[in-house]
């Protein structure tokens, strides 16, 4: 599940994920990419270490007198099983954090056609941003869209190319309003992406404006 990833998360995004200030939709893309990318996992761990140092330096606020006893009682009353590690089964397309939102792997996704051979599935998150799975047939073109705000697209299967670069499994593209691109899925198997955005996409062509409401994007 490692190596060959060429497009990584930025320091800014990893730090915001570590600090816990990103919308849930972006958290999901970050957690899914980090599950596939040791490089970003190491960078994230180092930002978490800053959080640890900040916690260590917090001026103490006294706990209530019976707090330790109350906590031990909480432990005593909880099931005695330790938390199991969260790991995806071998051969899964989706890493664990994504499986937890889909309730399964790729075959559990409930796709809806959105035109041009493209299908999507919107995942339920807090509404300050949105995240969806996209399925683009090999060779098919995504609608050309400009961005308002930030968009993150993580490839889970297949690959896409735009005017600038190629993105394969594990690669993440971070785009802002300056980027106007027309990604095309590489010939071969369907390209499956996880895409989060913090603003409605504005399509330049291909899908009428009224459809944006219908698509909830």
Partner 1 sequence: MVAHKDKAEWVGHVRRIQEERDQTAFAELFAHFAPRVKAFLMKSGASETLAEECTQEAMATLWRKANLFDPSRASVSTWIFTIARNRRIDMLRKQRRPEPEDLPWGPEAEPAPEDVIALQQESAQLGEALSQLPQEQRELIEKAYFGDLSHSQIAAETGLPLGTIKSRIRLALERLRHAMK
The tokens describing 106, both together, are 């790729």
Number of residues located near partner 1, criterion CB under 8 A? 70
User: Residues 8-47 vs partner 1: string with x where CB under 8 A?
Assistant: --xxxxxxx-xxxxxxx-xxx-xxx-xx--xx-xxxxxxx
| Residues between 105 and 144 that touch partner 1 (CB under 8 A) | 125-126
What gap in Å lies between CA 35 and CA 41, rounded to an integer? 7
**Which is nearest to 156 in space by CA: 90, 95, 86?**
95
- Residue 141 to residues 154, 183, 190: CA-CA distances in angstroms? 17, 6, 12
Is residue 178 a contact point for partner 1 (CB under 8 A)? Answer: no
Is residue 48 a contact point for partner 1 (CB under 8 A)? Answer: yes
**Which is nearest to 113 in space by CA: 144, 84, 134, 91?**
134
| Residues between 184 and 213 that touch partner 1 (CB under 8 A) | none
Per the CB < 8 A criterion, the answer to whether 132 and 112 are in contact is no
123 by DSSP, 3-state: which? strand
Out of 97, 158, 170, 183, the residue judged to bind partner 1 by CB under 8 A: 97
Binding site for partner 1 (CB under 8 A): 2, 10-16, 18-24, 26-28, 30-32, 34-35, 38-39, 41-64, 67-68, 70-72, 74-75, 78, 82-83, 85-88, 95-97, 100-101, 125-126
């Amino acid at each position: 599940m490692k190596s060959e990833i060429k497009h990584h998360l930025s320091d800014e995004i990893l730090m915001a994920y570590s600090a816990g200030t990103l919308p849930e939709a972006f958290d999901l893309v970050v957690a899914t990419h980090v599950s596939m990318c040791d490089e970003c996992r190491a960078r994230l761990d180092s930002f978490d270490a800053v959080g640890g140092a900040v916690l260590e330096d917090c001026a103490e606020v006294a706990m209530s007198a019976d707090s330790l006893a109350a906590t031990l009682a909480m432990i005593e009353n909880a099931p005695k099983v330790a938390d199991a590690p969260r790991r995806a089964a071998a051969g899964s397309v989706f890493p664990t954090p994504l499986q937890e939102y889909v309730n399964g792997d790729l075959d559990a996704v409930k796709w809806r056609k959105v035109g041009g051979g493209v299908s999507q599935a919107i995942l339920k998150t807090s509404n300050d941003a949105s995240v969806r799975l996209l399925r683009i047939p090999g060779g098919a073109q995504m609608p050309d869209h400009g961005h308002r705000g930030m968009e993150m697209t993580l490839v889970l299967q297949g690959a896409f190319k735009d005017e600038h670069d190629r993105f394969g499994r594990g690669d993440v593209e971070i785009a802002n309003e300056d980027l106007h691109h027309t990604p095309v899925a590489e010939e071969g198997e369907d390209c499956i992406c996880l895409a989060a955005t913090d603003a409605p996409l504005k399509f330049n062509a291909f899908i009428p404006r009224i459809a944006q409401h219908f698509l909830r994007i």
